[in-house]
Amino acid sequence: MRGAFKGPIRFRRAAARTAFAGAVLAVLLAGTFAWGWWVQPAVLVVPLRQVGYWRLGVSPRTVEVDGHAWPYLEAGPADGPPMLFLHGFGTSKDAMMTMAAHFARRGWRTLAPDLPAFGAHDFHAGERHGPAFYAREIGRFMDAVGAPGAVVVGTSMGGALACELAIDHPARTRAILLLSPAGVEPTVRNEFMRRVDAGENPLDLATEEDFDRITATVFARPPSVPAPFRRWFTEQAAAHRDRTLEVVEEMRGFLMSGLAGRMGAIRCPAFVLYGTADAVTDPSMLQAFAREIPQLRTALVPGAGHVAFSDDFASTVREMSGFLDTAGLAPGGRVDPPGGGSGGSPHVPKAPPVR
């Protein structure tokens, strides 16, 4: 009889050990979560970011270029036509990963680097981080990843740099797609630009209050940002604030009007898109690009702010895809944009009303 109870007893002991281990794990996870939420946000942000990469199918990589590590994201087929994404001021490669994943699924080999002095990319000591520096270094990165020429997509500062690349290094650009680009004088000087005129940096991020103010400025429909991410972004910006302010001073003139009078040299297919509610690069700037760039195709996204691809992702990628299709650049000859329609416009849309 005694042996008959050994099986149930062992089972109960094993179950008790499993339950205890589960309880310990739960406590550890709860403690880690609380620590990440209230004390050290990187404990949550870093692994969750990796999960985001995995879910989107993008791979974080690093390549060394002239002694400097370039962190970047890559997705899509290795033999697909290359599409390079250039992020805006104060952001990083992560801002471009949703678009990069979208076009990777349509046959492009997408590449999104952290530009020097942004994200996880170090400031290049001894270099003046102006437009010529960025155009040169972007070209070196393209060589290092086996994409000496590419379709280049840039947003805000990245859009101005894509233009600079097309002007000074035309062999690098098969086409340029500029999303809310800086670099020209607008017809309408909005509040953001009036503050820049006064010598301010409205994108200066030193506190969580700055984070909230900037988010409300660049998005027409600001995304919900969990507290640990909000705190982590602020801490990262504060840690690198000195180098960021140095880049601001080097790039200020270029971002305000450095492309004016030079864009007639662009010979590759070109596309410019703004959101009609952009409170940073006023959509009236579209006219300045249209006056200079030959055969420019344009689009306005109604109600979208400075980060149009966040405020209205479907409309933004539909317009981009329509342009690529019309230009004969889409992998396989055609990329059907989501929601139908060809996207793009062979003419310049009517400028938004003066505010």
Q: pLDDT for 125-184, tens place per residue?
A: 999 999 999 999 999 999 999 999 999 999 999 999 999 999 999 999 999 999 999 999
The torsion region of residue 328 among left (phi > 0), alpha (psi -120 to 50) and beta comes to: left
Would 205 be classed as within a structural domain?
yes
Domain of residue 178, CATH code: 3.40.50.1820
Q: Assess whether 109 and 92 both reside in one domain.
A: yes
- Rounded to whole angstroms, the Cα distance separating 181 from 162 reads 9
Would 156 be classed as within a structural domain?
yes
**What count of Cα atoms within 13 Å lies in the side-chain half-sphere of residue 7?**
2
Q: Assess whether 100 and 33 both reside in one domain.
A: no
The torsion region of residue 343 among left (phi > 0), alpha (psi -120 to 50) and beta comes to: left
Q: Assess whether 83 and 230 both reside in one domain.
A: yes
Amino acid identity for residue 339 in this structure:
G
Q: Assess whether 25 and 118 both reside in one domain.
A: no
Strand order in 109-113's β-sheet?
59-65, 68-75, 109-113, 82-86, 150-155, 173-179, 270-275, 297-301
Provide the residue range defining the domain that includes 20: 2-37
Q: pTM for this structure?
A: 0.83
Q: Assess whether 7 and 66 both reside in one domain.
A: no
pLDDT of residue 295: 85
Would 354 be classed as within a structural domain?
no
pLDDT of residue 45: 61
- Rounded to whole angstroms, the Cα distance separating 43 from 34 reads 10
Would 338 be classed as within a structural domain?
no
Q: Assess whether 149 and 12 both reside in one domain.
A: no
Q: Assess whether 205 and 247 both reside in one domain.
A: yes
Would 47 be classed as within a structural domain?
yes
Would 258 be classed as within a structural domain?
yes
- Rounded to whole angstroms, the Cα distance separating 171 from 126 reads 28
Percent of the chain with pLDDT over 70: 81
Q: Assess whether 25 and 115 both reside in one domain.
A: no
pLDDT of residue 232: 80
Spatial contact of 167 and 262, defined as CB atoms under 8 Å apart:
yes
pLDDT of residue 333: 57
Spatial contact of 95 and 309, defined as CB atoms under 8 Å apart:
no
pLDDT of residue 8: 60
pLDDT of residue 240: 86
Name the residue with tokens 């993008």. Answer: 58
pLDDT of residue 4: 52
Q: Assess whether 173 and 299 both reside in one domain.
A: yes
Name the residue with tokens 């409309």. Answer: 315
Spatial contact of 338 and 316, defined as CB atoms under 8 Å apart:
no
Amino acid identity for residue 93 in this structure:
K
pLDDT digits (tens, 9 = 90+) for 286-328: 999 999 998 899 999 999 999 999 999 999 999 999 999 999 9
Structure token pair of residue 218: 């660049």
Would 65 be classed as within a structural domain?
yes
Q: Which stretches of 302-350 are DSSP H helices?
A: 308-311, 313-326
Instruction: Name 74's bridge partners.
Output: 59, 111
Domains contained in the chain, number = 2
Q: Assess whether 177 and 292 both reside in one domain.
A: yes
Spatial contact of 112 and 93, defined as CB atoms under 8 Å apart:
yes
If you ran DSSP here, which 8-state letter would residue 3 be given?
G
Q: Assess whether 9 and 68 both reside in one domain.
A: no
> DSSP per residue over 147-209, as a string?
-SSEEEEEETHHHHHHHHHHHH-GGGEEEEEEES--SS--SS--HHHHHHHTT--TT---SHH
Cβ neighbours of residue 153 closer than 8 Å, sequence gap 6 or more: 83, 84, 85, 86, 96, 99, 162, 176, 177, 179, 320
Q: Which residues of the chain have pLDDT under 50?
A: 16-43, 334-355
Q: Assess whether 32 and 95 both reside in one domain.
A: no
